[in-house]
């Protein structure tokens, strides 16, 4: 049965740009009310005003830097203080780094684990029990096509996204007999700020990329059909499943060739 979203509330993390912002746009078009969180309060306020004007959406802006556990705790407390329950959680906040071992920023790698794994786990398990008790609601966890294979020079990122995929699939099976949904979204290259933050701005200009609109449209379609995961685009689907037909050793060594120049700085401009 197709979930009823109109008039209900969604929490969207990383909502100030990219895929998170587009989730806010498309959920507002479905008449959902939104709790928007990210670090950049000014961007969130601008988005909230736009959605209220275009769709009459009720919005709550809760800026937070989810790298900091105390701000995650504050976010949860503020969401719980609201009158209406959260019906959909979109765990979109996340980031990565492409670098060699010796040039890696250790603190940044730890922060990746915090946001990509700890935050996703906390927000998923924080709100799912109430959804189960109501037999209504769901979670969309933004993973990545890199979740399907190890990626040299971005090992922590790809491992974190594998965690998100496996967690989401496991919970999907647990919830199979209910009306509560959970899905992992596994996009490939998408035109977002991710590549600027990862220090590889040239990647978008040299590779095919989906738009956030395309990714979110496919994600919501798959979510409505209660799929455990969504891989937008046939090329990304083929990349994800190649490990079933090729030795993993071969796959990871081929991936190393692709990302070597990015990690060593030869393609970062």
Instruction: Work out the average pLDDT over 253-261.
Output: 85
**According to the model, what pLDDT value does residue 269 have?**
43
Beta-strand runs (E) in the chain: 9-13, 33-37, 59-61, 86-91, 137-142, 180-185, 229-230
CB atoms within 10 A of CB 135: 10
**According to the model, what pLDDT value does residue 201 have?**
57
The DSSP secondary structure of 103-138, one letter per residue, reads T--HHHHHHHHIIIIIIHHHHHHHHHHHHHHHT-EE
**According to the model, what pLDDT value does residue 2 have?**
82
**According to the model, what pLDDT value does residue 141 have?**
98
Residue 196 has pLDDT above 60, yes or no: no
Tell me the sheet residues that pair with 10. Answer: 34, 88
**According to the model, what pLDDT value does residue 194 have?**
61
**According to the model, what pLDDT value does residue 259 have?**
83
**According to the model, what pLDDT value does residue 268 have?**
45
Q: Is the dihedral of CA 213, 175, 3, 79 positive or negative?
A: negative
* Percent of residues, the chain, with pLDDT higher than 70: 93
pLDDT digits (tens, 9 = 90+) for 207-255: 567 899 999 999 999 999 999 999 999 989 888 888 778 888 888 898 8
Of 194 and 263, the structure prediction assigns the larger pLDDT to 263
pTM above 0.75, yes or no: yes
Strand order through the sheet with 229-230 = 59-61, 33-37, 9-13, 86-91, 137-142, 180-185, 229-230
Residues forming the active site: 157
**According to the model, what pLDDT value does residue 195 have?**
56
CATH of domain 9-264: 3.40.50.720
> Residue ranges per domain, the chain?
9-264
E strand or H helix at 259, and its extent?
Answer: helix 248-264
E strand or H helix at 216, and its extent?
Answer: helix 212-224
Q: Chain-centre distance of CA 251, in angstroms?
A: 24
CB atoms within 10 A of CB 89: 26
**According to the model, what pLDDT value does residue 115 have?**
98
Gap between the Cα atoms of 17 and 12, Å rounded: 11
Q: Which of 29-33, 201-205, 210-214, 233-237: highest mean pLDDT?
A: 29-33
pLDDT digits (tens, 9 = 90+) for 169-185: 999 999 999 999 999 99
Instruction: Work out the average pLDDT over 12-27.
Output: 97
Tell me the sheet residues that pair with 74. Answer: none
- Determine contact, residues 21/212, Cβ cutoff 8 Å: yes
* CB contact set of 226 (below 8 Å; sequence gap of 6+): 181, 183
Length of the chain: 269
pLDDT digits (tens, 9 = 90+) for 103-123: 999 999 999 999 999 999 999
CB atoms within 10 A of CB 199: 15
Query: Which DSSP letter does residue 199 get?
Result: T
């Amino acid at each position: 049965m197709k979930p009823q979203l109109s008039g209900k509330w969604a929490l969207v993390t990383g909502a100030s740009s990219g895929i998170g912002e587009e989730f806010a746009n498309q959920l507002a078009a479905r008449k959902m009310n939104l709790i928007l969180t990210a670090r950049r309060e000014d961007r969130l306020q601008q988005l909230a005003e736009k959605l209220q004007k275009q769709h009459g959406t009720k919005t709550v802006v809760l800026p937070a830097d989810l790298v900091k556990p105390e701000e995650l705790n504050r976010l949860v407390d503020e969401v719980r203080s609201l009158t209406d329950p959260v019906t959909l959680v979109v765990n979109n906040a996340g980031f990565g780094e492409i670098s060699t071992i010796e040039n890696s920023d250790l603190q940044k790698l730890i922060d990746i684990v915090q946001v990509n794994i700890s935050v996703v786990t906390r927000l998923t398990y924080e709100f799912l029990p109430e959804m189960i008790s109501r037999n209504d609601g769901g979670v969309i966890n933004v993973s990545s096509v890199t979740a399907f294979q190890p990626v040299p020079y971005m090992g922590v990122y790809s491992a974190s996204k594998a965690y998100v995929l496996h967690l989401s699939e496991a919970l999907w099976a647990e919830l199979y007999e209910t009306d509560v949904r959970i899905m992992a979204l596994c996009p490939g290259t998408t035109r977002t700020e991710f590549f600027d933050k990862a220090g590889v701005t040239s990647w978008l200009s040299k590779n095919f990329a989906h738009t956030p609109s395309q990714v979110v449209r496919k994600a919501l379609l798959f979510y409505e059909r209660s799929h455990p995961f969504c891989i937008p685009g046939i090329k990304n689907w083929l990349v994800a499943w190649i490990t079933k037909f090729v030795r993993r050793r071969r796959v990871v060594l081929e991936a190393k060739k692709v990302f070597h120049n990015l990690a060593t700085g030869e393609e970062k401009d």
